[in-house]
Amino acid sequence: MTTGLIVQTVSEIRKLHRFIVTTPRLLCALPALLAGTPIAHGADIQVIGVFGSKATLVIDGGRPRTLSVGESTPEKMRLISVGADSAVIEADGKRQTLQMGQPGQRIGAGQSGGAQRVTLTADATGHFFTTATVNGVSMPFMVDTGATMVTINSAHAKNAGIAYTAGERGVVQTANGKTMVYKVKLDIVRLGEITLNNVDGIVMENQQLGIVGLLGMSFLNRTEMQRSGDSMTLTRRY
């Protein structure tokens, strides 16, 4: 099968696999790298249901999640208390009461409504690892200006509720053999304060990406990138 999708992605997939194969110790150290990466945790939250000591929330337009009082989400949103028709949410030390049924409200970092930006710090090898959310589901990424699109594996896609098999299909040759890839639209991709909608993405079948996705140019092109030493600041442009 020969498609434009294959031409666009085969070189970057090979590049990624060389990285995975030749730097196993770096991948093993990923949790520590992620822990040292500064990430803003603000988010748009909507309360769609309350019952007893639990509340059902929609975070950044993702799938509904039900939390018990005291429970936190991977985005560091914590349910403080539940009222008859409201819930108190805490993020980045800020608490806000949200009424059930109201449109999503922003809580935490970036709440003031200024420019959306995030600053990342490179690891010892110069790579920028971070955590972003796709459709409200947290995933580890490596920033890669050589990748045409945001690229994730099929397991992460399933967790995010992405019907990727309905997307444009292609086949690429990787270090581990041929694998199926799908071109999709990612409804919401969020990195720190930056939230982008309708982002072009690639889903790789059969776990070919390992544990790390690629934050490619379909996201980065919509930001202004400024590099200073081992820091890189991304500011949303559109």
CATH at 134: 2.40.70.10
Return the bridge partners of 21, or none: none
124 shares its domain with 224: yes
Number of domains in the chain: 2
2-16, 138-152, 201-215: least confident range: 2-16
Q: Tell me the percentage of the chain whose pLDDT exceeds 70.
A: 75
180 shares its domain with 127: yes
pTM given for the model: 0.57
Return the bridge partners of 235, or none: 117, 224
Q: Which residue has the higher pLDDT, 48 or 209?
A: 48
83 shares its domain with 70: yes
Question: What pLDDT score was predicted for residue 114?
Answer: 59
Question: What pLDDT score was predicted for residue 142?
Answer: 94
- Final residue in a domain of this structure, among 61, 87, 107: 107
* Amino acid type, 233: T
Name the phi and psi angles at 18, rounded to 5: -60, -40
Spell out the residues 6+ positions from residue 226 whose beta carbon is closer than 8 angstroms to its own: 232, 233, 235
What Rg do the C-alpha atoms of the chain give, in angstroms? 19
- Name the DSSP class of 233: E
Question: What pLDDT score was predicted for residue 105?
Answer: 67
118 shares its domain with 187: yes
Q: How far apart are the first and last CA of the chain?
A: 35
Q: Does position 184 have pLDDT exceeding 90, yes or no?
A: yes
Question: What pLDDT score was predicted for residue 109?
Answer: 55
- The CATH code of the domain that includes 50 is 2.30.30.830
Name the phi and psi angles at 155, rounded to 5: -65, -45
Q: Does position 41 have pLDDT exceeding 70, yes or no?
A: no
- Final residue in a domain of this structure, among 87, 107, 127: 107
- Final residue in a domain of this structure, among 53, 80, 107: 107
Range of 205's domain? Answer: 4-38+114-236
Q: What is the mean predicted confidence (pLDDT) over 87-103?
A: 81
pLDDT digits (tens, 9 = 90+) for 49-61: 888 899 998 877 6
